[in-house]
Every structure is written in C-alpha cells, then in structure tokens.
C-alpha cells in the first residue's frame, strides 16, 4: 500500500488519440503517473506488451523514464504506437474440467480447500454467482452455519436463512457440484419475481445484484454478530455525505452519515468521435469508484423556495472487513426507452488501496495502523536475522564439540 499524508486532489489528465495500425483509440493520459501506467492502458486496448511498445508524440519519443508532464500534451493530440500484439498460443495440454476428474483426483481438490460449484438449475447463474461470492466470506459462513431452529410456515425469511445454512454446510464437504433446489424454492417463495417464466415456460434470467441484495438483507435480519446484523457487521460501509447547493452560497453545507452494504462503481462506455476513434470510457475500477463518489441531485431549497441542484460528495468513514463492489453497467436509453448494458472490460488490481476515498480522519487512522504494522514487521525481520546470524556463529563450536 502507498501512504499519503493528505487527501489527494483530482489527478491531472489529458485526452489524446493513439493510432496503432489502422485503429485509433481515445485515452485519458494520467500525467502524474509513470509511463508504465500509460503503457498498461495501451496494452489493455491493443494487446501490445509494454516492452514492445514504441510511442511517439510528434517528434518526441516517449521512453520509460519520460515525465509525461514535460510533453505538454494537448487535448486530442495524435500519438503513434508501433508494436506487435501478442498472439495467444494454443494450450500445450488439453483442458481438464472438474466434472471429468477421477474420484481420487476430486478428493485431492476437496482436501486443498477448493469448494464445489453450484449446478445451474435453468438460468440460475444469477443466484449461484452471489452465493459463491458470499461463500468466500468465512466469518459470514461461520455465523450462518451456526444458526439454530427449524422452518416455519409463517416466517419465509427464516426458512430462506436456514436453507442458506444447510447449503453452505454442504458446500464445505461436497465432492461433486451441488444442486441447490431447496434454497431456490425458498428464494422464489419469498421473492416471486425470481420465478418468472418466458416462452415455453422456461425460467427467465434475473438480475444478479438484485438477488444478492435480497439474500444479504435476509441473512442480516436472521444472523447476528453480537447485537448487529451479520452482514452489517462484516460488509457495512459508513459514508460521510456532504450536500451543497450549487445555485446559492447562502445555504450552509449539509452533512450526514449513510450506511451501505456495497460500493457502486459506475461504468461508462466510450463515445464515438466521428473520426473512427472513441472518447472516454471506464478502464479501471478506481475510475469507477471515483465517479460513484460524486454526483448531483435536485431537492427543495429552503433559501430559494424551489427545487435546486445540489452537489453531493461521498467519503468513506469506515471500511468493512469484506468490501463488495458492484459494477453498475445498466443505463436507461432515451431513444429506445429501454435498459441497456455497457459491455466494457474493467480492470482491477490484485490489491485495492481504498485510502484515498476516505475522510481525513479515517486516513489518519489508516496511516497509524500501517505504521504500527510496518514497525512490527521490521522488528520481526530483525529478530529472524539475529536468530539466523546467531545460529551461524554457533555452528563451528558445535562441530568442534562433536569432534571432541
């Protein structure tokens, strides 16, 4: 993790066009980042590995050591990329799927802690994906599987929570893919919208996020950690929300706290520019998170006596043990009056540092924790080093004693 002593300002960027072979790409160049980041963006778009990329901005060649701020890039400036994209080689060995493994090999997978998957019961992948995600939150699974009591004809939420308990227990020990009929039937009993059928009586595909939200709310209601709902305790995010009227300075800024169970990451598709290129678009999860932390809304202004536009900003006051991020891909198309999905690949790091999205006070707590963790690690490393050096110093004496 990187450490910052202050809340970062918005990063300076400039939109440029990059031509590679016959294609043109619109890219937001982050001027304060090293060239490696720019090359990673190009690699994601073109497939040309960074070590093969030769980039020029006019007569200037962009090297790994180049400071992008010194190039004085202009909006829509054309950059040239030369390089050959990677071609995926055919696998040297035939892929072997879990369902094709011999029983003894299956036992090895179970022993290694790899859980079995859930069978698709006619378009139930929306449900399976959410359940398998929750199954990775060990603290939640431990709480749910300790639930006691039996089913009730009057409490459908209790029945669904108990089905989740039984299903998660089965997922710990199953030796073959699980068919979650019990959980599915109780989910549809409680939420009939997941029992819709289409032509020929085939079950319709449903929204994974909606299903996950409903399941998390039920588990939060029926499973407790102390006096708090288990989902709130493990997934709860506290947000500092600021509202400021954009149409008058007479109103003071409003401040409130909002609690969430997941962080919405808004995805934007690229917009065609008319010259064969595209502009904008979300490439990284950090861009999506940043976009979701700002916005506007209309509400009644007490000073103006009418509806007015307010700027709304979010900062994280408290992070959870397990952070759920939702890619918001659907939007309403005015021309067709239908929901549309943005099909765009969004990359995310193996380690996501959330510090820069937090309040100043919470950032200070993070810094303090990291400093303590770093000092502890340094002390442990020094102790191991002394122990190793001490063992090496004692070795000759031990050998002499053995010879005597």
3-state helix, strand and coil shares in percent for the chain, rounded to the nearest 5: 40, 25, 35
pLDDT number for residue 107: 65
Total-model pTM: 0.67
pLDDT number for residue 89: 65
Distance CA 183, CA 186 (A): 5
pLDDT number for residue 91: 67
Give 351's Cβ-side CA count (13 Å radius).
Answer: 4
Identify any residues that bridge with 266 across adjacent strands, giving them in sequence order.
328
φ, ψ of residue 224 in degrees (nearest 5): -120, 145
C-alpha torsion sign, points 63, 65, 71, 75: positive
Distance CA 95, CA 98 (A): 10
Distance CA 346, CA 111 (A): 34
- Cβ–Cβ under 8 Å, residues 127 and 191: no
Q: Report the chain (404 residues): mean pLDDT per 10 consecutive residues.
A: 41 86 88 89 89 90 91 92 79 67 66 76 92 94 93 91 95 86 96 89 88 96 94 96 94 94 85 70 87 91 94 96 88 74 81 92 95 93 86 53 42
pLDDT number for residue 104: 64
Distance CA 330, CA 339 (A): 6
Distance CA 136, CA 142 (A): 11
Which of 340, 342, 352 has the alpha carbon at shortest distance from 285?
352
- Cβ–Cβ under 8 Å, residues 290 and 350: no
pLDDT in tens, 368-386: 999 999 999 999 999 988 8
Query: Residues 396, 401, 402, 404: what is their CA dihedral angle, to the nearest 10 degrees?
Result: 130
């Amino acid at each position: 993790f990187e450490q910052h002593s202050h809340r970062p300002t918005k990063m300076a960027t400039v939109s440029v066009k990059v031509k590679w072979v016959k294609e043109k790409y619109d890219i937001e160049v982050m001027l304060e980042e090293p060239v490696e980041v720019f090359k990673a963006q190009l690699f994601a778009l073109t497939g040309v590995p960074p070590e093969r990329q030769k980039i020029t901005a006019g007569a200037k060649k962009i090297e790994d050591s180049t400071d992008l701020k010194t190039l004085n890039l202009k909006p829509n400036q054309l950059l040239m990329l030369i390089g050959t994209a990677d071609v995926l080689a055919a696998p040297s060995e035939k892929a072997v799927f879990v369902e094709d493994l011999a029983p003894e090999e299956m036992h090895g997978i179970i022993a290694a802690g790899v859980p079995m998957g859930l069978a698709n019961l006619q378009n139930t992948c929306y449900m399976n994906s959410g359940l398998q995600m929750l199954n990775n939150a060990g603290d939640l699974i431990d709480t749910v599987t300790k639930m006691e009591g039996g089913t009730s004809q009057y409490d459908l939420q209790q029945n669904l929570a108990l089905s989740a308990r039984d299903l998660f227990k089965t997922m710990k020990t199953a030796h073959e893919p699980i068919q979650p009929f019990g959980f599915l039937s109780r989910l549809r009993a409680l939420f009939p919208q997941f029992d819709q059928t289409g032509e020929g009586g085939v079950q319709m595909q449903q929204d994974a996020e909606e299903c996950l939200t409903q399941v998390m709310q039920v588990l939060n209601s029926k499973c407790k950690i102390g006096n708090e709902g288990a989902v709130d305790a493990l997934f709860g995010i506290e947000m500092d929300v600021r509202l400021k009227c954009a149409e008058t300075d007479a109103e003071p800024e409003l401040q409130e706290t909002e609690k969430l169970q997941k962080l919405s990451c808004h995805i934007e598709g690229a917009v065609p520019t008319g010259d064969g290129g595209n502009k904008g678009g979300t490439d990284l999860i950090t861009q999506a998170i940043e976009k979701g932390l700002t916005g506007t809304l209309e509400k009644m202004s007490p000073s103006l006596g009418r509806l007015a536009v307010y700027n709304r900003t979010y900062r994280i006051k408290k992070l959870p043990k397990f952070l759920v991020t939702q890619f918001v891909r659907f939007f309403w198309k005015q021309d067709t009056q239908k929901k549309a999905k943005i099909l765009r690949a969004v990359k995310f790091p193996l380690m996501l540092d959330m510090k820069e999205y937090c309040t100043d006070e919470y950032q200070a707590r993070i810094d303090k924790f990291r400093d303590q963790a770093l000092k502890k690690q340094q002390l442990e490393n020094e102790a191991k080093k002394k122990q190793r050096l001490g063992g090496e110093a004692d070795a000759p004496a031990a050998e002499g004693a053995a010879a005597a």
